[in-house]
Amino acid sequence: MGVFRVVVQVFSLQEPERRQEVEMVVDTGAFRTVIPRTTADALGIRTEKRQTFRMINGEPITRDLGWIGVSVEGESVHTLAILGEPGDQPVLGALTLEELTLEVDATRGRLRPMQDLLLLVVS
């Protein structure tokens, strides 16, 4: 799948009218969404915790996480996002895409509503 970008509205859960547009790379290989720390600070996003992640090259990095609102393609959710440091690429990750019920249309390089939602029924 080729890499493509989308413009996402990021907002404060405490003050939803506080919003910023952020251009993000869509990356289904990334679990969490990454927003710039400057965006988080401007919106008053608080750090909830710190976590260590392993980069694709094996290098560990530690980043803050905070709860944000995300709007894209007419859908809005709240998600726990990585508050990126300078040099970190803003990323729309797999967990947020699932929460938004969006999937990647790899042939067109865009997002679309999930075609089939799976439901596991346990009796």
Q: Which CATH class is domain 5-113?
A: mainly beta
- With contact defined as beta carbons under 8 Å apart, do 22 and 36 qualify? yes
pTM of the model: 0.87
Distance CA 98, CA 89 (A): 20
The yes-or-no verdict on residue 107 having pLDDT over 90 is no
- Domain ranges in the chain are 5-113
CA 36/CA 84 separation, integer angstroms: 5
Rounded distance, CA 72 to CA 70, Å?
7
Q: What is the pLDDT of residues 46-69, one digit of tens each?
A: 999 999 998 888 899 999 999 999
